A and B are shown apart, each in its own frame.
Chain A
Amino acid sequence: MHRRKVIVNGQSRALAACAPYTSALDWLREQGLTGAKEGCAEGECGACSVMLARPGIDAPTEWTAINSCLVPASSLSGQEVVTAEGLGTPSALHPVQREMAVRGGSQCGYCTPGFVCSMAAEYYRPGRADFDLEAIGGNLCRCTGYRPIKDAALALEQPAADDVLAGRTQEPPPELAGDLAAVLAAVAEGAVVVAGSTDLGVEINLRGARPERTVAVDQVPELREFEVTGDRVLLGAALSLTEIERRLAGRVPLLDEVFPLFASRLIRNGATIGGNLGTASPIGDLPPALLALDATVVLVSRAGEREVPLSDYFTGYRETVLRPGELIKSVHLPLPLAGTVAFHKISKRRLDDISSVAVAVALDIDGGVGGVVRRARVGLGGVAATPIRALATEAALVDQRWNDETVARAAEVLAGEGTPMDDHRASAAYRSAMLGTSLRRLLGRAQ
């Protein structure tokens, strides 16, 4: 029964029968490892952050921080977990723990174990030169104001030569890899698909969702393909946002504008591109950009595969063309990419917030400012029941010169796209106004 074991802080523990809705966090706490805490139960605060050994990009295995409140305990099966307790002890602090302690990085201490794990994962990132502060952007602290935490992160040096965790390079066990046929069979029988569980976990924790059956897809090789050819980029549906960001390495500039605004690193480490399209939220961050990139999605079932333009994929509020038994396999981005792109997300908080409006623009322009717009794609989020393309705006831009007059005219059209609504995030009037200003900002940036 290999698959019912978890290695926690170097020690193998039996993953005894626990309910499908039991989170990894609750399971760890039942094991007596109470360092990880529940602060919000929806992946917003990071108090539950722990490190997982995941298949790596720059090394066979990389330590990856995730929100343990979101993933089911059963998904830990066969994996290796490190918590704050496993990094060091009061008499032998880990370098991350030492910097946090001596610099006043903890006050009440409740968020601290989570910060330590998020920070340690970045500390161990293969090839790290500077500390990327995005690593701790998904952790909230209500006491310190963050200055000492930031200083602690920036004070970290490289791991010592004899650091056991840094030296861990073995491949993940092959039996972890999922089997597509088995997954498709389960999906056909109505199992709920789970990848990073960053959405389902919230439904379970906050809204009492209790799916009878789930099937994990995050380790299925066919869903984890990544390929760049002459005419397209192929992104496997089960690749996490972090994996896509690092594998693309800047090759899709529009997505590079999306990544830092897509939730937090902790979420991006779990959340997948397939999940973001599968959940079909009208305020998801990826769909507007993928619409602007003319993406298509490949859907797979036991009956075979079909490819659907993303603009035809969404059919209603959280509804799509996905048929029973069907699963998103991959997302294709046609090449070459448009030359002038922008992603504009309006939210209360600049980072790690849900958008009230999102606008993605991809334009092919002959020459720079003043040239003629040959092709325009504008994707919108937050203004309708689904992510939509702003077709009237696109029409108002095509064959026009990329200048103040065109933008003023198109901006007026754009402000009238969709049917923005009033809610606690923003008023309808503000949403419309933000649509209107987004093109002006793009032109302003070019000028």
Chain B
Amino acid sequence: MSIGEAVPHESAALHVTGQALYTDDLVRSTKDVLHAWPVQAPHAHARITSLDPAPAYDVEGVVRVLTKDDVPGVNDAGTKHDEPLFPDEVMFYGHAVCWVLGETLEAARLGAAAVRVEYDPLPSLITVREAIAAESFQGARPKVARGDPEAGLAKSAHVFEGETEMAGQEHFYLETHASLALVDEGGQVFIQSSTQHPTETQEIVAHVLGLRSHEVTVQCLRMGGGFGGKEMQPHGFAAVAALGARLTGRPVRLRLNRTQDLTMTGKRHGFHATWKVGFDDDGHLLALEATLTSDGGWSLDLSEPVLSRALCHIENAYWIPDLRAHGRVAQTHKTSQTAFRGFGGPQGMLVIEDILGRCAPLLGYDAAELRHRNLYAAGQATPYGQVVRHPERLDRAWQQVLTEAEFVQRSKEIADFNASQPRVKRGLAITPVKFGISFNLTAFNQAGALVHVYKDGSVLVNHGGTEMGQGLHTKMLQVAATTLGLPEEKVRLAPTRTDKVPNTSATAASSGADLNGAAVKDACEQILARIAGVEGTTWEERVRAAYMQRIQLSAAGFYKTEGLHWDAATMSGEPFKYFAFGVAAAEVELDGSTGAYDVRRVDIVHDVGDSLSPLVDLGQIEGGFVQGAGWLTLEDLRWDESDGPDRGRLLTQAASTYKLPSLGEMPAVFNVSLLQDATETGAVYGSKAVGEPPLMLAFSVREAIRQAVAAFGPAGVSVELASPATPEAVFWAIESVRTVTHALA
């Protein structure tokens, strides 16, 4: 199980036999558990005028109603002090105003229905456009700028302007949020939580309970998916469970059902963008001026760093000499939108891909050619001033996709097909990805590990990262086994706990393997250095001898990413250790009578450096791509935007109305290759991060749909496509190009 070997997930045998445990599976082996149920407000915005828990206590089995008055510490579930755990003011439809604990879930549910709450409804803002019109913004208003975009636009031969709007996305991890809290000896609180950020969960539980961090321990066995949705969102639920455990002395389980999870937790930010772009006569991008407004929902959460990453990815893989991008976070009365795989990067990149897709026909260029001629070249830097290292790898991936996908030949076949088929059209598009790796905030780029070698030679690895299916633990086992030169059965990995490795960063930003891998490697190397001179023919003999010589066989490893700097005030610096690259080509077929489509074929070449674990990396690429395609085509969050009594209610609040890609949406042909000769010298064992970047390869699907829509109209027609491009949205796009009698160019 060494580095670079294609091994299955370290828990695969437990997964397939149903023996892998998740937080809520622990309830059965815990005695006297109480179950929690929220009282959710039926208003998008309202003041709570009274809250009477008394009727709940008449329900058999109700043990305790938790309200604001019960909070011994700070009544806040976030880090910005804008997320009261028990609110006085309802800020979104479904906001939990208090929680009921019952002997059974049924008792808690009925108790919650009995709590009497009176509201004074207030005006609400539901859409990002409403928020813009009302100038309802929150947090910083950052700007990324380089050069003189006015001058750049003035000298451009072709200038276009437009708007781009994209919807958010529900994480829909299969495991909903879950916490199980107990109070153990000495009033210490122990919380098992489905959290990507155990340290922050610990900190927030501590401040809600008025405790110090050393009195609170958080453990995460594994998660049934996270995707960013469990980075910031689990803290409040853990705090409610912990508060209940402190007040009752009994274990408290809080598990959201799907509808609670959908209506209470944050999602990917939808964005609105206005833009003005200039090209020269050769199709080169000269200037871009843009304003991005994210729909932050009711509180800031991670909206500011998400916006920063959006602004740092607005140019995707393209050189734009003069650029200014403004950003702002709209405050609306919806769930607090949060991290989601890509963390603003996808939304920023969608803007430029939308621009190129819309402008190519107006410029008289084939979209693939327009994209290729604007790719970064050696020596060029991003608008925030970081030189793009290895841009030739991007071009290499591009050329490899063209070859493997037989792009030119198939484009010709598709043109013939479209010419002969009045009802059905096909499109083939190729798009690049360049994604910066590291947390934008430099301080987060650190990690710790704790490696124990026991006297029998067995090794236990702890690290600060959490496992959510991305294969982090598999990679960490490979790093430890390779560094120590041991076979896999001698190395075990322990669940993530804040009392083993403290002060960890979130397992996020695709950085889990880079940061924790380097820390694990450091710990292993410390131990190896200490026993370097110890005699013995086997590992066990050397370990035993080292113990007898009183050599410490346990080591704390640490890593910080070197060479990063970031000035948040000027939005400039070198925030990223490196860029991950990828290129995808996708072919779709559209039915003009319905707007429905199939993805016929996808070819991907993706850059993971020297792969730590090829089977894991392949899974991340394929899974990320399909999730990205879901965001762009199928997944359709709808809120009640009417002025009716349910204004602000999430209409798609169940799996039956919010549809994810299923087996039927898988591309019929799906070819994925890892870019060869791609060693990344700055990261552990030459690898690159892989969690987020592949999601954005799915732009190829959206652009292929755009091209197929265009084939229903005259040559040179520019197609505006909604995001998500649902069959209905595609149908209306087709109808609109059909009414264009001649091209605009």
Contact = CB atoms under 8 A, between A and B. Distances in A.
Report whether chain A binds chain B. yes
Interface of A: 19, 21, 29-30, 32-42, 44-45, 47, 83-85, 87-90, 93, 96-98, 100-113, 116, 133, 136-137, 139-150, 202, 205-206, 208, 346, 348-354, 356, 423-427, 430, 433-434, 437-438, 440-441, 444
B534 interface: no
Contacts of B727: 346, 348
Given A37-B224, A146-B666, A433-B731, A109 B17 contact: no
A109 B652 contact: no
Contacts of B656: 40, 42, 44, 202, 354
Given A348-B634, A349-B665, A45 B174 contact: yes
Contact of B12 (A83, A101, A205): A101
The 4 A-B residue pairs with the shortest CB-CB distance, nearest first, are A35-B18, A108-B469, A110-B224, A109-B15
B552 interface: no
Given A84-B17, A102-B12, A109-B224, 12 more contacts: A93-B17, A100-B12, A101-B8, A109-B14, A110-B175, A116-B18, A140-B662, A142-B172, A142-B225, A351-B662, A437-B593, A444-B423
A103 B735 CA distance: 43
Interface stretch (B380-388, B510-518, B621-629): B621-629
Residue from B13, B173, B622 with most neighbouring chain A CB atoms (10 Å): B13
Given A107-B619, A109-B222, A93 B13 contact: yes
A425 B17 contact: no
Contacts of B113: 208
B22 A110 contact: yes
B222 to A, nearest CB: 7
Given A352-B664, A424-B651, A206 B259 contact: yes
15 contacts: A30-B28, A42-B258, A44-B655, A97-B17, A98-B16, A102-B8, A108-B225, A112-B16, A142-B174, A145-B661, A146-B662, A150-B663, A346-B596, A350-B664, A424-B651
A105 B598 CA distance: 23
A136 B663 contact: yes
Nearest to A138: B662
Contacts of B435: none
Contacts of B471: 107
A145 B175 contact: no
B638 interface: yes
Contacts, number: 247
A89 B594 CA distance: 47
A101 B638 contact: no
B659 to A, nearest CB: 4
A160 B615 CA distance: 28
Contacts of B638: 424
A75 to B, nearest CB: 19
A232 to B, nearest CB: 34
Nearest to A346: B594
A142 B651 contact: no
Given A90-B19, A143-B619, A150-B666, A424 B8 contact: no
A90 B593 contact: no
B137 interface: no
Nearest to A356: B728
B664 A40 contact: no
A19 to B, nearest CB: 7
Nearest to B468: A108
B17 A87 contact: yes
Contact of B16 (A93, A206, A430, A437): A93
A92 B250 CA distance: 38
B660 interface: yes
Given A29-B28, A101-B15, A109-B9, A430 B731 contact: yes
B547 to A, nearest CB: 31
A348 B731 CA distance: 12
B312 to A, nearest CB: 27
Nearest to B172: A142
B666 A35 contact: no
Contacts of B257: 38, 41, 205-206
Interface residues of B, number: 76
A352 B225 contact: no
B726 interface: yes
Interface string B1-26: 00000001101111111111110010
Residue from B9, B593, B662 with most neighbouring chain A CB atoms (10 Å): B662
B96 interface: no
B106 interface: yes
Contacts of A101: 8-9, 12-13, 15-16
A42 to B, nearest CB: 6
A348 B654 contact: no
A54 B187 CA distance: 52
A157 to B, nearest CB: 17
A426 to B, nearest CB: 6
A331 to B, nearest CB: 25
Residue from B258, B423, B636 with most neighbouring chain A CB atoms (10 Å): B258
A434 B634 contact: no
B657 A34 contact: no
B627 A145 contact: yes
Nearest to B628: A145
B223 interface: yes
Nearest to A47: B174
Interface in B690-745: 726-728, 731-732, 735
A305 to B, nearest CB: 35
A111 B627 CA distance: 16
B43 interface: no
Contact of A37 (B175, B423, B618): B175
B666 A145 contact: yes
A147 B596 contact: no
A145 B627 CA distance: 7
B616 interface: yes
A381 to B, nearest CB: 16
A145 B9 contact: no
Nearest to B659: A349
B728 A142 contact: no
A36 B9 CA distance: 20
B656 to A, nearest CB: 5
Interface string B619-647: 10011111100000010101000000000
Contacts of B616: 104
Contact of A39 (B258, B470, B663): B258
Contacts of A205: 257
A144 B619 contact: yes
A18 B450 CA distance: 46
B454 interface: no
Contacts of B660: 140, 142
Contacts of B521: none
A142 B468 CA distance: 11
Nearest to A350: B664
